[in-house]
Structure 1
């Protein structure tokens, strides 16, 4: 990376800059002068809003405990403590559910890998209370989905209505990548994944991930999760797809990079699946926002213009406090995010994407209803239906 290259952070709120500075405080370190200088001109309500939006409040509170709390307003410290405490109980609850589900799957001879949740918090931060998680993300084999559904129903989980898989010509296997279940009594949502990311696109197979799995020491019964290099791959591709719009994902990468990593393996996996540029994007962001050290081995990911351009495009999400789960997204955010997602793709990935756009979807069926034996006609009709829906949408504004 060119040592003179730097991101333009002028448009990022000063409250977010303060959050980043506090996160960078190391154990036993005195409060840096730049933090003391920033505190006098802070909108503390916005500070709390950003801390919650970026899901960084438990980590922030663990840092705030180490500094002179009198420097911060009392209501800020108290609010952070209450959120920290609620999150700790949530993570303990999820840990118990995670162990129970893992044990039940093992008893029924089904393999699962936990993608996030308490195991990720323990692995990256050494403490489940320092990272948030509202649900459990679990990866299973695609061929086991019917058995998984039956098992979860017997355990009291219900498939969430708005996550029902609707499909045309059996396209769900690559168009979707997870489905959600909710347990009304336990108040826990499970996201069952059969891919790490939405298709179309290349990624390691379940069997490859299983061979490289690790066992968490968090629970009594074995809970399996991704190997370190595969976890890096997942964190990078997941965070990039969401524009790093929650800084928690970036801090996750900052933490895993500080662990002992086999960068030769990482480069091989990222290159094989055409995601080298995304690894470069996040290392640039992490090094400039969180001062993540970049070793010589890691610099191979940062080479070229594309990672730098992608890192620049991400700043929009920090300036705007974008929540991609808002429905509907503001039109300006939706347009920007669509262009951003396209910029993440290699030429091969763009080709696959454009081909997938021409593949019929359930929306086509809802636009013009044809009998199932004529579903093949949706292929030639697809371009016309896309134009039709676009015109309908424009007429509403």
Structure 2
């Protein structure tokens, strides 16, 4: 018998949300432990639903509950969030169709990673997943053309990346464009994840792409196996701090994937730990079919899954900076634990590559920037000494 995750520190409100999300039919609600309903702080329940971006799925489940179990104002609040999200997804769908058509007209390749198409792909319904922006992947050599297209449409670049010696190509993985009128945000990726790390090139992903007919113009998306690898690495990088990401894996595991091919991709690109952690979390929290989870991988994946529970215990938002020092320290350790040996070597060696801060500490002409390689240890030591002083 497999050891279950220790969820004792997870708030009762989130435990109830997990129990409701697991229900596939109205009669399954009757099997939920009644103590979960009667011990809930309903205001905190709503905060949890919003933090974890889970209210679209939750809305349908709450309709199966009697008013004796769930107060009417809670159902109405979640319903309002659900309706607002539905309009948002319809709006993003129109923008996505427009971008797909324009990129195609310019003979530019584009893969949609996250957005309304992911809701339709995983849940079969646009309204059942939230999305605040559109994430797209383009070949790195087509970035200038992609940027020009967006700027011509009125988008403004959020140019926050500082770079030296072209380290942006592997240290970063996307740049953001925001439309000042519509408020739509588009994240243009040239990598799936920030480096350093090995990952499939665009042409490889393009060869395995799928087409979706979400609008009048076809939308190109990742192949199912590539989508699993991407969603696993993305969720792990953010500590699975939003339940929605685990539910995505839960939904993906129901699809007809070639799991043998998925495992090959996990091993080839160093995502073995993140992939099996994702499978373990979905299986343990939502009782997803365990056929996809190899028996020989459960010990390591269970340990990593238990570490991810930490992020569910305190409603941690990793996007809210500055992070609590304890959370930041834990997250660094957890990310390092997810790396393969090869990834750890790359990660440690990456510190030898110059950073933009080195140029700020010791400005040199661009023609002499190569000197930052031998000077980096000394500049780092000087900066560290000044900080301590």
Q: Who is 1:252 aligned against?
A: 248
Q: Matches of 2:68 and 2:98 in 1, distance apart?
A: 43
The residue aligned with 2:377 is 383
Contact 1:136 1:190 in 2 (8 A): yes
CA contact (8 A) 2:280 2:293 kept: no
Contact 2:112/2:221 (<8 A) preserved = yes
Matched, 1:193 2:189: yes
Q: What are the superposed Cα offsets for residues 344-376 of structure 1, whole Å, 9 maximum, x if unpaired?
A: 111110111111111111122222322222222
Name the CA distance, whole Å, in 2 between partners of 1:383 and 1:246. Answer: 38
Alignment of 1:82 with 2:77, yes or no, is: no
Distance apart, 1:274 and its partner CA: 1.8
Which residue is equivalent to 2:306?
312
Residue 328 in 1 paired to residue 322 in 2? yes
Q: 2:30 aligns with which of 32, 40, 50?
A: 32
Distance between the aligned counterparts of 2:362 and 2:330, measured in 1?
Answer: 30
Task: Measure the CA separation in 1 of the matches of 2:67 and 2:104.
Answer: 47
Deviations 1:132-169 (CA, angstroms, capped at 9, x unpaired): 0000000000010011111111111110143xx32111
What do the CA deviations read for 1:169-226 (whole angstroms, capped 9, x no partner)? Answer: 1111111100000111121000000111111111111111111111112211111111
- 1:99-124 deviations in whole A, cap 9, x for unaligned? 00000000000010000110000011
Match of 2:280 in 1: 284
**Hey, what's the Cα distance between the residues in 1 that align with 2:383 and 2:132?**
35
Q: CA deviation at 1:391?
A: 5.2
Q: Distance in 1 between matches of 2:267 and 2:64?
A: 41
Distance, in Å, in 2 between the alignment partners of 1:133 and 1:391 is 44
Q: Secondary structure at the match of 2:114?
A: coil
2:297 is aligned with 1:299: no
Task: Summarize the Cα distance change of 1:8–1:108 in structure 2 as closer, same or farther, 3 Å threshold.
Answer: same
Give me the whole-angstrom Cα distance separating, in 2, the residues matched to 1:101 and 1:392: 48
Give the aligned partner of residue 208 of structure 2. Answer: 212
Rounded Cα–Cα distance in structure 1 between residues aligned with 2:382 and 2:72: 56
For residues 102 and 394 of structure 1, the distance between their equivalents in structure 2, rounded to whole angstroms, comes to 51
Counterpart residue number, 1:141: 139
Which segment drifts farther, 329-338 or 273-282? 273-282
User: Where do 4+ consecutive residues of structure 1 move more than 3 Å?
Assistant: 384-395
Name the CA shift for 1:226/1:110 in 2 (closer, same or farther; >3 Å): same
CA-to-aligned-CA distance 1:283-304 (integer Å, 9 cap, x gap): 1111111111111x5315x616
Report the CA distance shift for 1:148/1:169 in structure 2 as closer, same or farther (over 3 A).
same
Q: Does 1:230 align with 2:254?
A: no
Of 105, 108, 132, 1:107 maps to 105
State the alpha-carbon separation in 2 of the partners of residues 270 and 309 from structure 1.
18
Change (3 A) 1:304 1:129: closer
Shift in CA distance, 394/4, structure 1 to aligned 2, threshold 3 Å = farther
Q: Is residue 54–residue 129 contact of structure 2 (8 Å, CA) maintained in 1?
A: yes
Say which of 349, 362, 365 aligns to 2:356: 362
What residue number does 1:122 align with? 120
Partner of 2:62: 64
TM-score, normalising length from structure 1? Answer: 0.94
**3-state secondary structure, aligned to 1:224:** strand
Whether the aligned pair in 2 keeps the contact of 1:22 and 1:35 (CA below 8 Å) is no
Query: 1:291 & 1:388 partners in 2: Cα distance?
Result: 53
Aligned mates of 1:154, 1:233 — CA distance in 2? 34
| Residue 255 (structure 1) shift | 0.2
Q: Which whole-Å CA distance do the structure 2 matches of 1:384 and 1:75 have between them?
A: 61
Indicate conservation of the 8 Å contact 2:38/2:69, yes or no: no
Separation in 2 of the partners of 1:28 and 1:188?
A: 36
Q: Could you say what the CA RMSD is over the residues aligned between the two structures, in angstroms?
A: 1.6
Aligned-pair CA distance for 1:61: 0.6
Q: How many residues align?
A: 389
CA distance in 1, matches of 2:331, 2:361: 25
Any idea what SS the aligned residue of 1:168 has? coil
User: Which ranges in structure 1 are unaligned for 5 or more consecutive residues?
Assistant: none
